[in-house]
Amino acid sequence: MSGASLIGGMRAWFRHRDRERRVRLAQGWPKATGEINHWQVLPVDPDEDAFASVWQIEAGFHFVLNGEYFGGYLRSGAIGRSEAEVKAKGAPAVQVRYNPANPDEAVVLAEDNRETLPFPVMSG
């Protein structure tokens, strides 16, 4: 294995580990209802296992706490381009988990949004 691919593999492992840690922490955070305000179809994240589907949906969202706006982004898993373009529409409500000590830290968990989004969310 070359040094570059070893380093790339280690970076991917650390990103995956950090994402899993954020998801575990977020499961205990309070929920807020947010709204999708921007959709984009992008090439799939290199960390996502994608054999045939090479696209994913990224959505910007916002939520309000005590009159202040906070936001973030969520991503779908790997999906076909035409399916992504059909599903990346509207302004559905999403359940957002936020860190009460720092609401800028927000996560959309797949298990909180199975009924509200037309695609599975890549948590974290």
For 38-85, the pLDDT digits (tens) are 999 999 877 655 566 789 999 999 999 999 999 999 999 888 999 999
pLDDT at 15: 58
Q: Higher-confidence residue: 29 or 117? A: 29
Residue 22 pLDDT > 90, yes or no? no
Helix, strand or coil, per DSSP, at residue 105: strand
Is residue 9 within a helix (H) or strand (E), and if so which, with residue range? Answer: helix 3-26
Residue 120 lies in a domain: no
Query: Is the residue at 88 inside a domain?
Result: yes
Per-residue burial over 40-56, b if 16 or more Cβ lie within 10 Å, else e, is: ebeebeeeeebeebebb
Confidence of residue 9 (pLDDT cuts 50, 70, 90): low
Rounded Cα gap, residues 83 and 79, in angstroms: 7
Of residues 89 and 124, more confidently modeled: 89
Alpha-carbon distance values, 32 to 29, 93, 99 (Å): 10, 10, 11
Average pLDDT over residues 98-121: 91
pTM of the model: 0.77
Residue 24 lies in a domain: yes
**Total domain count, the chain:** 1
Report pLDDT for 34.
Answer: 96
Least confident of 49-53, 90-94, 97-101: 49-53
The reply to whether 29 falls in a domain is yes
The whole domain housing 90 covers 3-112
Give me the chain's average pLDDT, please: 84
Of 32, 15, 7, 48, nearest to 105 by C-alpha is 32
Residue 122 within any structural domain of the chain: no
